[in-house]
Amino acid sequence: MRDAAGSLRQAERKSEIMPSYRFIIADDHPLFRDALRQSLAASYENVDITEAGSLDEVITILEGAGPFDLVLLDLKMPGVQGLAGLAFLRAQFPDTPTIVVSATEEPPVMRRAIDLGASGFVPKSTPVGVIRAAVAEVLKGEIWLPADIAGSGSSDHETDEIARKIATLTPQQVRVLMMLREGLLNKQIAYGLGVSEATVKAHVSAVLQKLGVESRTQAVIAAGRIDGDRSYDS
| CA-to-CA separations, 81 to 159, 221, 225, in angstroms, rounded | 17, 13, 12
User: What average pLDDT is seen over the chain?
Assistant: 86
Query: Residue 234's pLDDT is what?
Result: 35
Taking the C-alpha atoms of residue 124 and residue 147, their distance in angstroms, rounded to an integer, is: 15
Closest CA to 120 of 136, 63, 174: 136
> Among 19-33, 47-61, 106-120, 149-163, which is the least confidently predicted range?
149-163
Query: Residue 151's pLDDT is what?
Result: 56
CA angle 84, 85, 90 (to 5 degrees): 100
Residue 156 clears pLDDT 80, i.e. is over it: no
The pLDDT-based confidence of 231 (bands split at 50, 70, 90) is very low
Domains identified in the chain and CATH numbers: 2-150 (3.40.50.2300), 157-225 (1.10.10.10)
Taking the C-alpha atoms of residue 90 and residue 98, their distance in angstroms, rounded to an integer, is: 8
Taking the C-alpha atoms of residue 100 and residue 217, their distance in angstroms, rounded to an integer, is: 27
> Among 18-22, 82-86, 97-101, 218-222, which is the least confidently predicted range?
18-22
Query: Residue 14's pLDDT is what?
Result: 47
Q: For residue range 131-144, what is the model confidence (pLDDT) as tens digits? A: 999 999 999 999 99
Contact 112, 163 (CB under 8 A): yes
Q: For residue range 171-215, what is the model confidence (pLDDT) as tens digits? A: 999 999 999 998 999 999 999 999 999 999 999 999 999 999 999
| Alpha-carbon torsion, ordered 30, 31, 33, 35, to 10 deg | 160
Query: Residue 30's pLDDT is what?
Result: 94
| CA-to-CA separations, 3 to 6, 7, 9, 206, in angstroms, rounded | 5, 6, 10, 67
Query: Residue 31's pLDDT is what?
Result: 93
| CA-to-CA separations, 66 to 17, 24, 60, 71, in angstroms, rounded | 22, 10, 9, 11
Q: Which amino acid is at 209?
A: Q
Residue 15 clears pLDDT 50, i.e. is over it: no
| Alpha-carbon torsion, ordered 164, 167, 173, 176, to 10 deg | 80
